[in-house]
Structure 1
Amino acid sequence: MSDEDPYSVPALVRGLTLLQAFSPQSPEQTMTQLAKTLGITRSAVFRTVHTLVQEGFLLPVRDGRTYRLGPAVLRVSYGYLASRELLEVAQKPLEAFRDSQDWSGHLGVLDGRHVLYLIRLAASDGLSSLVHVGSRLPATLTAMGRVLLTQKTEPQIRRLLDGQPKAAVEKAISAWQEDCKSPSVIHNGSFETGLCSVAAPIYDMSGDIVAAISATKQTDAVPASVERDILKTARMISRAMGWKAPEAWTGPP
């Protein structure tokens, strides 16, 4: 940490540095060892250790004389590892879909009231994808975003859209009610005139929707074959993420 950086939070940097002191070679650390790592006194490191224990990032062992990383570290790292796994699992099936149908393929996740695009595979016409990786678009106005909102309850969606015009919120709720009844969401020029999209959910092993994929093309309507194949692709990716379809699932065979 630079002493000249006015935006750094010393206590946070101290806590992060402390967590990095643990390694496969040194899975357990005493208060004295941690103080030495941070270059401060044992009494000064006490509050940092106490806070990390309270939040679950450290776990006292051996009658509290030593510490090791706690379960909260796993929860934080899981989000990073899961997102990397998702991208690696989804890339090839989505590429195969793009190549067979020549529709642009995308993968996105919910980011507040927006959908964040993590994969973009352009079709051969170069005109069927108006977004780039890292783009954020309003969830209620995109096919992928509407798919991702089906994991929310109505009160959650209303809170998410708090501050939006009442008419827009009610329109979003009406669309959500219909979207929850269907395995896919189709947009025919709803976001951009002449641009059609169809999206389907990606499930993880717990059955939660963790992402969505979509197909987009400049055309008049979404053919049944494209909808069928995007659903099949979504199911393939979900299976690779550990999902098992329930018996009552109504998606593609």
Structure 2
Amino acid sequence: MVDKTKIKRSNPLFVGSIEKGMQVLEAFDEGNRQLGLNAVVELTGLNRSAAQRFLHTWESLGYLHKDAATKQFRLTPKVMSLSYNFLRGERLIEVATPFLLDARERTGNSVYLGTLYDTSIIYLIRLPQRLFILEGTLPGRSVPAYCGGRAFLSCLADSEILSILERSDRSAITPYTISGIDEIMREIVQIRERGFCISEQEQLVGEIAVSAPVLDMQGVPRASVYISARVSDWTAKRVEEELAPIVLETAGMIRAQL
């Protein structure tokens, strides 16, 4: 398997210092909202001097804020401008939003749009049902593609899928997560036959979701549409009968507009 990181670093146009700077910024994730210098060093593997310089630079540029009392850093709202510029300029978002809103109205359930990046699915749009927690409304969250993106993966060649699976940390998220490569590939075959994927409690206990890929006119997958529901209210059979047709219809209408 080709190591893309080595290819990038062997390219004379690749700027290693930017990569290191982004490692520092990306260290501030869901589980590390505030970090001190020592924590950044540990998380990134950079030496103390380099980490300190990058932290100072990001602070000077306005992307990090340093608490004078605790010496802890945190992200600032300025980072939102980057994601806004992407979302505002992405035609997929513009096209998909009204169809996703309609799907939520028709089903009364949460509706998402996600796309593949490396080995993860990143949610671009998240429309929660009325009863929700904050996390369920925020775009930008990523989930492992091996369990949260099988509808998207089903549109790729087997060799591409296997590459993604082999590079993924396939640790089970819940007791119901399917993580074995052979099991996942069997699921992929079924998804290709049906055109949609049903995932039951694989990412979150108590949740069942159905998803379908959004293809462009060349047949290349661009995203997946998700509708999630509670297992206390929805059986897999009911999801297949009532929600799968809607998720397929929604994905098809987005494709037609693209």
Superposition TM-score, scaled by structure 1 size: 0.58
**Conservation of the 8 A alpha-carbon contact between 2:207 and 2:229:** yes
Shift of 1:225: 2.0
The answer to whether 1:234 aligns with 2:251 is yes
Picking from 151, 155, 170, the partner of 2:155 is 151
Written as runs of structure 1 = structure 2, the 5 A alignment for 1:76-87 is 84-87=90-93
Structure 2 counterpart SS, 1:162: helix
Once the two structures are superposed, residues 52-72 of structure 1 have per-residue CA deviations (whole angstroms, 9 ceiling, x without a partner) of: xxxxxxxxxxxxxxxxxxxxx
**Conservation of the 8 A alpha-carbon contact between 2:146 and 2:170:** no
The number of residues matched between the two structures is: 164
Once the two structures are superposed, residues 210-248 of structure 1 have per-residue CA deviations (whole angstroms, 9 ceiling, x without a partner) of: 11110011133225222111111111111001xxxxxxx
Shift of 1:201: 1.2
Shift of 1:125: 2.0
AA aligned opposite 2:140: G
Superposition TM-score, scaled by structure 2 size: 0.57
Which structure has greater helix proportion? 2
The answer to whether 1:89 aligns with 2:91 is no
Tell me the residue number matched to 1:132.
138
Structure 1 counterpart SS, 2:160: helix
Tell me the residue number matched to 2:212.
200
Once the two structures are superposed, residues 191-218 of structure 1 have per-residue CA deviations (whole angstroms, 9 ceiling, x without a partner) of: 2222010101111121211111100111
Shift of 1:81: 9.6
Identity of aligned residues (%): 24
Structure 1 counterpart SS, 2:218: coil
Shift of 1:137: 0.5
Across the aligned residues of Structure 1 and Structure 2, the Cα RMSD in angstroms comes to 2.9
**Conservation of the 8 A alpha-carbon contact between 1:104 and 1:128:** no
Shift of 1:127: 5.7
CA distance in 2, matches of 1:187, 1:140: 11
Q: Structure 1 stretch 114-123 or stretch 189-198: which is displaced more?
A: 189-198
The answer to whether 1:182 aligns with 2:194 is yes
Once the two structures are superposed, residues 163-205 of structure 1 have per-residue CA deviations (whole angstroms, 9 ceiling, x without a partner) of: 5579722222222122221111111223222201010111112
Q: Give 5+ residue unaligned stretches, structure 1.
A: 1-5, 10-79, 242-253
AA aligned opposite 2:164: L
**Conservation of the 8 A alpha-carbon contact between 2:128 and 2:136:** no
Shift of 1:128: 11
